[in-house]
Amino acid sequence: MIRYLVRRVLGGLVTVWFIATATFFAMHAVPGDPLLNDKAVTPEIRANLEARYGLDQPILTQYAIFLGHMARGDFGISFTQKNRSVNDIIREHFPVSAALGVLALVFAASGGIVWGALTAQYRNRLPDAVIMFLVILAISVPSFVVAALAQLGILYVNRWFDASVLPVAGWGQLRHALVPALVLGLGTMAFLTRLMRSSLLDVMDADYIKTARAKGVGPFRVFWRHQLRNAVLPVVTVLGPAVAGITTGGFVVELVFAIPGLGRYFVQAVQQLDYTVIMGTTVFYGAFLVAMVVLIDILYGLVDPRIRLQ
């Protein structure tokens, strides 16, 4: 187990290094100038700035310096927000994105399992058809549309109760997070519903379900003890990529609901060619995802005893 963990962590580090390197050179290959602002800059100031950010060095030297700093966990100062370090930006805004993401994942996983179980139970009957129609809808409609519609929905709810039940935008309390998290998790929820449905239907016909029923186990316990545990395995497998989708997909939702998360900086930095913020957020997200995938692998072993020993 220890050896397995060490191997996974080492592999993860290599992955992060690869992500960093690819991003670094891709970013420098993009045409444009990170120091070109609205204001005109004199050659002297420009030379000063280049020296300060190390842009006057050859690109390989820059890369070596970057790797050295990255190894110490230092991503430098933002190009666009002077005197604000990238680490500060991440420290300040990632917890917001993480809170939103965790809530979205809870919605997605619990919703996916419940709806999947319902559709499987009512296979080929009306509830199944209705839910599967909504699932296709949720997968196909992009999140900015859903987010805008959700805001409209909030408006109607507030008007109906004649009170501000739910805020349309903003951040700070749980009620701010509810609707955005639901919107953010919706696509994943739909995906998990479909997965759960097919997985449950597979397990429903398994011989050991017949055995359990032959033993006299009641329908409720057959479902919980025998069916669900086995059906949930494939769902656990895709939780890793699901975390990826939710954390990186948060940008749109954060923007629509005016949530001060990291997603906004991630995208803005690319638009403004803010080199240090691009590198910092990308490497951070990369490391986060790798950590999640390793975590899910360990979790998988907890659910499926067959994986544990190997």
Partner 1 sequence: MDAALLEVRDLKVVFDTADGTTHAVRGVSLSVRAGETLAVVGESGCGKSVSFQSLLGLTPTPPGRILDGSAVFNGQTLIENGTLAASVQRGRDIGMIFQDPMASMNPTMRIGDQIAEPLRIHQGLSRRAAHQRAIQLLQQVRIPEPASRVRQYPFEFSGGMLQRAMIAMALGVQPKLLIADEPTTALDVTIQAQILDLLRGMKAGNNMAMVLITHDLGVVAETADRVAVMYAGEVVESTDVESAFERPAHPYTLGLRQSIPDPGAAAGGLTTIPGTPPDLSQPIAGCAYAPRCPYAMRVCAQQAPPPFDLPVDEHGLRRWSRCWLQHPKAPRIKALDQSARGVGDGVA
One residue of 206, 267, 294, 298 binding partner 1 per CB under 8 A: 206
Span of 77-85, 134-142, 145-153, 222-230 interacting with partner 1 by CB under 8 A: 222-230
Distance of CA 136 to the CA centre of its chain: 21
* Binding of residue 215 to partner 1 (CB under 8 A): yes
Confirm or reject binding of residue 211 to partner 1 (CB under 8 A).
Answer: yes
201 neighbors 124 (Cβ within 8 angstroms): no
Give exposure, 253-270, as e/b (b: 16+ Cβ within 10 Å). Answer: bbbbbebebbbbbbbbbe
Strand partners, 85: 77
Query: Is 216 a residue that touches partner 1 (CB under 8 A)?
Result: yes
Q: Is 205 in the site for partner 1 (CB under 8 A)?
A: yes
Is the Cβ of residue 2 or residue 214 nearer to partner 1 in the bound state? 214
Q: How many Å apart are CA 190 and CA 188, to the nearest integer? A: 5
Q: Any contact of residue 159 with partner 1 (CB under 8 A)?
A: no
Residue 304 as a binder of partner 1 (CB under 8 A): the answer is yes
Structure token digits, residue 87: 């680490």
Could you tell me the two tokens for 203?
Answer: 């397990």
Structure tokens at 156: 């109607």
In the complex with partner 1, which residue's Cβ is closer, 128 or 304? 304
306 binds partner 1 (CB under 8 A): yes
The one-letter code for the residue type at 100 is L
CA-wise closest residue to 235 among 108, 128, 102? 108
Cβ-based neighbour number of residue 141 at 10 Å: 14
Shortest CB 218 distance to partner 1, Å? 8
Q: Exactly one of 173, 207, 219, 220 binds partner 1 (CB under 8 A); which one?
A: 207
Q: Please check whether residue 127 is in contact with residue 119, taking contact to mean a CB–CB distance below 8 angstroms.
A: yes
Q: How far is the CB of 234 from partner 1 (least distance, A)?
A: 13
Among 78, 199, 230, 281, the residue binding partner 1 under the rule CB under 8 A is: 230
- For 120, the token pair is 């499987």
Stretch that binds partner 1, among 187-195, 239-247, 264-272, 297-305 (CB under 8 A): 297-305
Q: What is the C-alpha separation between 271 and 258, in angstroms, rounded? A: 19
CA distance linking residue 237 with residue 56, whole number of Å:
46
Determine if 310 is a binding residue for partner 1 (CB under 8 A). no
Binding mask 175-194 for partner 1 (x = CB under 8 A): --------------------
Q: Which residue ranges make up the site for partner 1 (CB under 8 A)?
A: 205-208, 210-218, 225-226, 229-230, 303-306
